[in-house]
């Protein structure tokens, strides 16, 4: 049967010994694009460790902001609608830089962009807890989003290359370290706040940790990105291909849900379930723990049941979790819902990013930046839309829409692996 435009070139996956493992395409068990000249998983261990470190600090920096949102809201004395517009700045900053990210990676390499983003993170995070006006924090959030967007694409571009050279599936594991960073960020800040540490002092501790990890990993990041066939073109042109376009649409909906978890989980638990502000960040913490565990075992699960089934089951599982959150007015049940949603969402994005980075006739830097651009459109619309719905109805109504979205994502998963 002829391969359609939606099917990437997935060569056979190798096991730890370097031998070729057969693939059951009927189950959607389609492996990553492996570089057959380097089949041994231990051939680039230092690059793998450095990649995991960068995914960790990306999650650490982003999730540290989530428990601090209620404090920023109170300090600025703003309502849910205004908060939604300010959170809009995060995705807006990401989308402003996303069309240029693919060319920046091709020109400067992953290492330069990653180190620059980490440096800006270290200045911008404390600044967000220091400012006292909506305009100032809006600018800080715009920078925060731009840096996160650049880091997101550049670290995934590195991950695709490192995964190919390792000879085994690694993407879920890399994203698992992003989730571990989210746990450390959201959980660490929540514990520090619970212990009475001032928000500014808590974020300074996170900044110190980011700086130490980046210094340790910097020597093993990819200084120059290998050239691929078809380097001409661009981010938006990649969306003219049906494969990247379909993957991008799925990412749009998943990023929207993940953005809601990040930006609104603490506010939801505080306003709708009556949790104290200092404890409300634990909802996102439990969600992040579930995502991390799912991703750390994700490569094994993908190999066992296939990418198609993983996408389908993930969407339906996450929908069930959100349904618990919005339908039962009990704090414990809501926290359980965050865990279930995390399990369901855990491996969807890694699978989609691996598929985007291995599309035929589309360089991975452009395909990844295009997919991430559309994904961040979900982040762009999500916080503002949730703030609007919360103002008109409630946060419960806003979260309920996510149940329908996740059911649609699960139902559409077959196209990604057919």
Q: Within a domain: residue 2?
A: no
pLDDT reading at 71 higher than 80: yes
Q: Within a domain: residue 24?
A: no
Q: What percent of the chain has pLDDT over 70?
A: 86
Q: Within a domain: residue 399?
A: yes
| Per-residue pLDDT at 57 | 93
How confident is the model over 213-243, as pLDDT tens digits? Answer: 999 988 888 775 544 434 555 777 777 787 7
Mean pLDDT computed over every residue of the chain: 79
Q: Out of 147-151, 282-286, 386-390, which region has the weakest mean confidence (pLDDT)?
A: 386-390
Q: Within a domain: residue 365?
A: yes
Q: How far apart are the first and last CA of the chain?
A: 11
Q: What DSSP letter does each residue of 365-411 carry, written as one string?
A: HHHHHHHHHHHHHHHHHHHHHHHHHHHHS-HHHHHHHHHHHHHHHHH
Give the residue from 63, 73, 80, 91 showing the smallest Cα distance to 287: 63
How confident is the model over 380-407, as pLDDT tens digits? Answer: 677 777 777 777 777 788 788 888 888 8
SS (H, E, C) 292-321: HHHHHCHHHHHHHHCHHHHHHHHHHHHHHH
Per-residue burial over 122-155, b if 16 or more Cβ lie within 10 Å, else e, is bebbbbbbebeebeebbbbbbbbbbbbbbbbbbb
- Give the model's confidence band at 209: pLDDT under 50 very low, under 70 low, under 90 confident, else very high: very high
Q: Within a domain: residue 366?
A: yes
Q: Within a domain: residue 326?
A: yes
| Per-residue pLDDT at 55 | 94
| Per-residue pLDDT at 340 | 93
pLDDT reading at 74 higher than 50: yes
Q: Taking the model in full, what pTM does it have? A: 0.73
Q: Within a domain: residue 208?
A: yes
Q: Within a domain: residue 15?
A: no
| Per-residue pLDDT at 339 | 92
Count structural domains, the chain.
1
| Per-residue pLDDT at 318 | 92
CATH of the domain at 290: 1.20.1250.20
Q: Which domain holds residue 241?
A: 41-220+233-416
pLDDT reading at 56 higher than 90: yes
d(CA 66, CA 55): 17
């Amino acid at each position: 049967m002829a391969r359609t435009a939606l099917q990437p070139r997935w060569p056979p996956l190798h096991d730890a010994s370097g031998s070729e493992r057969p693939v059951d395409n009927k189950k959607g068990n389609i492996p990553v694009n492996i570089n057959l000249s380097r089949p041994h998983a231990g051939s680039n261990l230092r690059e793998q460790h450095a990649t995991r470190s960068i995914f960790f600090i990306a999650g650490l920096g982003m999730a540290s902001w989530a428990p601090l949102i209620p404090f920023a809201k109170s300090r600025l004395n703003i309502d849910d609608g205004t908060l939604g517009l300010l959170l809009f700045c995060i995705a807006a900053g990401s989308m402003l830089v996303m069309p240029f990210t693919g060319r920046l990676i091709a020109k400067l390499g992953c290492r330069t962009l990653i180190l620059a983003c980490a440096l800006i993170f270290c200045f911008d995070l404390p600044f967000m807890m220091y400012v006292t006006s909506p305009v100032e924090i809006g600018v800080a959030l715009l920078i925060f989003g731009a840096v996160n967007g650049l880091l997101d694409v550049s670290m995934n571009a590195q991950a695709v290359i490192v995964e190919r050279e390792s000879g085994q599936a690694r993407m879920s594991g890399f994203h698992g370290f992003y989730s571990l960073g989210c746990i450390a960020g959201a959980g660490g800040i929540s514990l520090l706040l619970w212990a009475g540490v001032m928000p500014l002092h808590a974020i300074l501790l996170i900044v110190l940790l980011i700086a130490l990890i980046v210094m340790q990993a910097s020597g093993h990041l990819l200084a120059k990105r290998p050239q691929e066939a078809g380097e001409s073109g661009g981010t938006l042109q990649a969306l003219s291909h049906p494969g990247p376009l379909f993957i991008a649409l799925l990412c749009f909906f998943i990023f929207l849900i993940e953005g809601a978890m990040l930006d609104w989980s603490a506010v939801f638990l505080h306003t709708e379930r009556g949790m104290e502000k200092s404890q409300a960040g634990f909802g996102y913490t439990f969600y992040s723990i579930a995502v991390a565990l799912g991703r750390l075992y994700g490569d094994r699960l993908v190999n066992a049941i296939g990418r198609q089934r993983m996408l389908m089951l993930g969407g339906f599982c996450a929908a069930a979790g959100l349904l618990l959150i919005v339908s039962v007015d009990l704090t414990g049940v809501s926290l359980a819902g965050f865990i279930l949603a995390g399990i369901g969402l855990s491996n969807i994005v890694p699978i989609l990013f691996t598929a985007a980075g291995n599309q035929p006739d589309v360089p991975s830097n452009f395909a990844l930046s295009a997919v991430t651009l559309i994904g961040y459109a979900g982040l762009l619309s999500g916080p503002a839309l949730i703030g609007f719905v919360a103002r008109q109805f409630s946060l419960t109504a806003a979260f309920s829409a996510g149940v329908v979205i996740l059911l649609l994502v699960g139902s559409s998963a077959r196209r990604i692996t057919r």
